[in-house]
Every structure is written in C-alpha cells, then in structure tokens.
Structure 1
Amino acid sequence: MNLWFRLLKVLIFGLFRPRLAMTEVSRLRFRVWPNDIDINVHMNNARYLALMDLGRFDLIARAGLWRPVLRKHWQPVIGGALVRYRRPLKTFQPFTLASRMLGWDDRWIYIEHRVETEGGVACVTMVRAAFLEKGAIVPPDQVAAEVGFAGEAPPAPAWAGQWRALDESAFDDAAPLRAAQ
C-alpha cells in the first residue's frame, strides 16, 4: 500500500475523533500530492479507489467494527464498485472524502464514497462490501449486532437488486472468453 502516511494519519486522528454509528458519515480531509497524479496532471483514477479504502477503514475503526474484525479474524472485502468521475482533482487541491453505509441486504453492505471539493462533487462511488470469516460471508445483520446497532436495518438501495442481476448475467464466471470478431 502506497498510502502509509495517510493510513497512519487516519489511524492516529481516529483515536481522538468521536465514535460513529454504523450509518453515520465519516469525513476525511486530504490534499492531492504529486505522487497522486497521472500523466494528465490530475489525480489518478486508481488513487480515488485507494483513498476510499481509508474511508472504509475509518468507518470500521470509528464504528467499533475493529473489535470483531480482530477478535473473529474477519476480513473486510469489496465485491464490486460503481464509479462516476465528475471532475478532475489537480495537484495540491484539498478535498474531503465522505463515506457512509447506505444499507444492506442478506449478503452485502452498500457504501457510498463522495469526493467533495469547493467546486462540487469530483467523484461518487458505490461499493458493496462484506466481511469474511473462514471464507464465508458474515451476514450483515450479524455485523450490525456486533456493534450494537439498534433499530431498523436500513434497506439496501433500490438499485442493488439490479446490480446483483447484472453480475449474475454479465459476469458469469462459467462463461468462456469469446474472441473479438
């Protein structure tokens, strides 16, 4: 991971920031550094996704999920991402990464990441994530119970079913690769 200093910053500052409920918004402030840019002299598309790892890390830490992750040897994993790049980020430009869990279904936790600047939203990403225990997905309701989430579980976003259907049809692992015609 080439974000060690940023990870340390998130970890250290997270110790002093208030705890979050599972569905509250995490906000992290960053700046685009020269090692974040690509040949187009704006932040590399892959760097957005790497920084979003830090947003999820902050959510896990501040929501108290780090305890069951360590105790039960859970592995947080990503099952997919939908990304919309809206405007470029230039070198040294400050931005805020807002991350929140939108809801969950029987398998996935849906997380929204928004990269925000003074000029508006630069990137919006929807991620579906899960925790694995011994290779099996931990039901999101069990994850919520581990941190004492009270109340009605927020439903998965309406588009989540369409995403699952797309995966089942377009990304069928059993389908052979076809040569371009």
Structure 2
Amino acid sequence: MNLYLRFLKLLLLLPFVARRDVFAESRIAFRVWPLDCDLNLHMNNGRYLTFMDLGRLHLIAQNGMGRLLLKNRWAPVLSAAEINYIRPLDPFQRFELVTRLLTWDEKYFYIEQRFERDDTVHAIATVRGLFLKGGRRVPSADIPRALGLDLAPPEMPAVVSHWKELTALKKEQSARLG
C-alpha cells in the first residue's frame, strides 16, 4: 500500500480521533508491505521516517491541535531526528507506531516515537520540531496556552539533554567546516 493511501486513510480518520491528554501516547497500527522493504527484505530505513510523519499528525489530532493549527495558520516543522534501528520489521508484519510528547524548551518540542511489535521495540527515535507562522517561529509557550492549558514543560529527559548537546556540537563543527 502506497504511503499516500495510508496518509489519506489517516486524514479520513483524524476527525474521529478521541481527544486525550497532551502527554498521552498516540498509537497507530500499520503493516509492512513489500513496497516498504529494501533489498534486505525488511522495512527500509527511510520508510521509518515517513511513518513517523503520520504518527506526529495523529498526535496533533489527538491533542486537539488540528483546528488550532488551521485557525492560526501554524505549520509544524521538524528540525532534527535521531533514530536507532534495533530489530528489523519484516514483510507483512504488523507493528504499532507509538508517539508521545516528552517536553519542550523556548524553541522546540521534543517527541519520542517507537516502532513496537508484540511489546518489543524495533526502532526508537527522538525528534524535535517547532511551529512556524508566516516563516516566523511561534514561541513554544504559546502552544499549550492556545490549547487552554497552563503547563510548564516537564523536566527534560537525559536522552534529550544529551541529544541537544550533540546537536550543538554538530552545528559548531559544520560552522568550522564552512
């Protein structure tokens, strides 16, 4: 099944997604189809990232942000992703994509995404993103407020703190390399 069909199916289901707490996990079930596979006959590493887009879209709907984004013309934008592939997903296997908000800082939201099968993690990713309006960054604190929530961000998990440090080092290195 082409990812465009999966995307259309998800769009049709989004209006019926039950609203949940902003920190609740989003879970979507998928199956690995042959066109999702690489030459090694398991899910292609790039396909994971595409599925993750669908997971974040589902999380946005579940958090009640869909209409808010449209109304305010806010565009969610991914700025970085880090993924570890632990076990392969083979053709025709079912899996669940689990997406959850971890925390945020003044600029970014940090999200964890896991690919699970039979309660076993096959891949895990951390992504960071932000919201833009007219090409300008929307302050992170404005998002929970717009949802009617008076929330401070949860404590930053160690994995996110270390990742932020690594990302800063990579930026520093790229600036030196020109």
Normalised to the residue count of structure 2, the TM-score between the two structures is 0.90
Q: Unmatched 5+ residue regions in structure 2?
A: none
The alpha carbon displacement at 1:146 in A equals 1.3
Distance, in Å, in 1 between the alignment partners of 2:52 and 2:15 is 19
* Residues 124-139 of structure 1: pairs in structure 2 closer than 5 A: 124-139=124-139
Name structure 1 gaps, 5 residues minimum. none
TM-score, normalised with respect to structure 1: 0.89
Q: Percent identity?
A: 41
Alignment of 1:37-116 (within 5 A): 37-116=37-116
Cα separation, 1, equivalents of 2:75 and 2:127: 16
CA contact under 8 A between 1:21 and 1:149: conserved in structure 2? no
State the distance in 1 between where 2:99 and 2:119 align: 19
Which residue of the partner structure matches residue 35 of structure 1? 35
Deviation, structure 1 residue 15: 2.1
Report deviation, 1:112. Answer: 0.5
Aligned residues: 176
Change (3 A) 1:151 1:92: same
Q: Which moved more, 1:32-41 or 1:167-176?
A: 167-176
The aligned runs of 1:120-159 (5 Å cut-off) are: 120-159=120-159
Runs (4+) of structure 1 exceeding 6 A deviation are none
| 1:119 positional shift | 6.3
Q: Secondary structure at the match of 2:129?
A: strand
Does the aligned pair in 1 maintain the 2:105–2:153 contact within 8 Å?
no
Task: From the two aligned structures, give the one with the greater helix fraction.
Answer: 2
Larger CA deviation: 105-114 vs 139-148: 139-148
**One-letter amino acid of the structure 2 residue matched with residue 167 of structure 1:** T
Give, in whole Å, the separation in 2 of the partners of 1:29 and 1:63.
18
- Distance in 1 between residues matched to 2:105 and 2:151, nearest whole Å: 15
The two structures, once aligned, show a CA RMSD in angstroms of 1.7
